[in-house]
Amino acid sequence: MNLIATAGNEKIQDFLVNDWYRSLKENVDLSKTDVLVINYGLTGLPKEVINFPAVERSGLINNTRFINLAIFLENHPEYDQILFCDGGDIIFQSDISHLFEEHRDAFRAVVEQLSPPIDLVVKEEDLVNGKEIKSFLSNKKLFNVGVIIAPREGFLELARTMERRLKNINVWGGDTVIGNYVIYKNPHVELPSKYNFIPSTAREKFYVKDSKFYLENGELIPIVHNAGRYRFLRPVKDFGYGPGKNRVNKFNIWMFRMLFSVSNFLKMK
């Protein structure tokens, strides 16, 4: 059995229900897949989803969600393949269920085609043996952990590593650093960017028509991720699923690309 899981609190309630879940339900074959929401204070979730109250709440949701997913999986061995993703800035536009059947023993995720240097993501002092972790990742492109597919044991290992190696559970970027550390230490496969398409960092040209995202060749993009720590800096305004949404902010896209390019250039120097 497969599992698609996310986590959220009341801040993303409307989007999670009306955009994330609605787009998932309407576009992805869920006949062999359950949907799990790790609940940090949400109400009114659809009755079809598994509503799992977060056990570990002491820390940033981005980090503790992995620990809570592991707690759930330890009590539900029936789930073998899991897709874990953000719930507040992702929509599904076409079926991705075939990914569960491919490379089943490996982590699968999208490498950011333009990513920040590891030094900008987290400080060494927030990690146990931080120098070793950052040295290991220093010359690697970062997987975006907003969408990860992996076997059950992979997520259990990720959670255990986060508990051991992340000193500051409140640090922004902890999930990125620990996630990449574990992914690169294990069998892994790079997915095409369309399975976690981030408009601000993807190299491929795209366009929006009737509120839907397409690649330049006309292919509907399966998963779109409006990534960004702060809402006002995200590449798409009115992001969501349905008519009248999704206005591309070209200035924000240009700004992010320039920032990451300059940061990487300075690191090389």
- pLDDT bin (cut points 50, 70, 90) of residue 124 is confident
Which residues partner with 209 through β-bridges? 212
Q: Please identify which residue in the block is written with the tokens 């269920």.
A: 97
The pLDDT of residue 265 is 45
User: What rounded mean pLDDT belongs to the chain?
Assistant: 91
Domain residue limits, the chain: 2-194, 196-268
The fraction of the chain above a pLDDT of 70, given in percent, is 88
The pLDDT of residue 10 is 96
Residue 235 has pLDDT above 90, yes or no: no
Is pTM beyond 0.85? Reply is yes
The pLDDT of residue 255 is 61
CA separation for the pair 4, 144 (Å, rounded): 17
- pLDDT bin (cut points 50, 70, 90) of residue 45 is very high
Residue 256 has pLDDT above 90, yes or no: no
Looking at residues 78-96, what average pLDDT do you find? 98
The CATH class, in words, for 2-194 is alpha beta
CA separation for the pair 113, 154 (Å, rounded): 24
Helix 61-74 vs helix 174-185: crossing angle, to nearest 10: 50
Closest CA to 164 of 176, 178, 151, 177: 178
pLDDT in tens, 141-160: 899 999 999 999 999 999 99
- pLDDT bin (cut points 50, 70, 90) of residue 178 is very high
Poorest-pLDDT segment among 111-125, 127-141, 153-167: 111-125
pLDDT in tens, 197-232: 999 888 899 999 999 999 999 999 999 999 876 565
The pLDDT of residue 127 is 92
The pLDDT of residue 9 is 97
Looking at residues 160-188, what average pLDDT do you find? 95
The pLDDT of residue 152 is 98
